[in-house]
A and B are shown apart, each in its own frame.
Chain A
Amino acid sequence: QQQVKQSPQSLIVQKGGISIINCAYENTAFDYFPWYQQFPGKGPALLIAIRPDVSEKKEGRFTISFNKSAKQFSLHIMDSQPGDSATYFCAASKQETSGSRLTFGEGTQLTVNP
């Protein structure tokens, strides 16, 4: 079963618009929620991450909003640019005494039109 569900699967936004990608998780033991950005032909790269003790984290045009009670978190890209066109993955991980894995969402392919 998919422990982290991501939507939408694809998203088309005009340049300058706001891109919003949503994720929901099931396991309340998750304590770290990163977002990864992947360009075609490349591996994913960490974009921004949040811990559940805060409700929002902002880095430049990228903001994560976190709702612990709803078990949801989302990525907002303000003033979206064509260079933001990529696949975005949300993920979650939990404290473990042995082993540590990232559970990824299904991915969102973002296209920003000029």
Chain B
Amino acid sequence: EAQVTQNPRYLITVTGKKLTVTCSQNMNHEYMSWYRQDPGLGLRQIYYSMNVEVTDKGDVPEGYKVSRKEKRNFPLILESPSPNQTSLYFCASRNWGGYKGEQFFGPGTRLTVL
């Protein structure tokens, strides 16, 4: 089954404790992206990657890091989480040649930073 998977689905942590949210897709997509979803703000892009070793900032990159060492994986790293990073996070992927809007989203990771 073609899908984007994220782990963990739920995470409660404390301020300053480094964490990684993993994202993996099995569709051989070149383009991957991370979004955060907050009430009243919609989805905002954090980082994106057009291919292996190619990443760039989205609209809200502060406090986040990413890496793209393999085509299928695109982990999101919070080096020192803060309460304002409490949010619902989505990873997405698409073919580079496909419609720009046709992104496939993972199931989401709900993060709470205390």
Contact = CB atoms under 8 A, between A and B. Distances in A.
Most buried by A among B4, B31, B33, B43: B43
Given A49-B99, A107-B42, A98 B50 contact: yes
B74 interface: no
Given A32-B100, A98-B50, A101-B33, A106 B40 contact: yes
A106 B48 CA distance: 20
B86 interface: no
- Chain B, interface size category, equals 20 to 34
Contacts, number: 67
Given A32-B100, A105-B42, A106-B40, A44 B48 contact: no
Interface string A32-61: 111000000111111001000000000000
Nearest to B110: A41
A34 B45 CA distance: 16
A49 B101 CA distance: 8
A33 B100 CA distance: 9
28 contacts: A2-B42, A9-B40, A32-B99, A32-B100, A34-B99, A34-B101, A41-B107, A41-B108, A43-B90, A43-B105, A43-B107, A43-B108, A44-B43, A46-B102, A49-B99, A89-B43, A93-B100, A98-B50, A99-B48, A99-B56, A100-B31, A100-B48, A101-B58, A101-B59, A102-B43, A102-B101, A104-B43, A105-B42
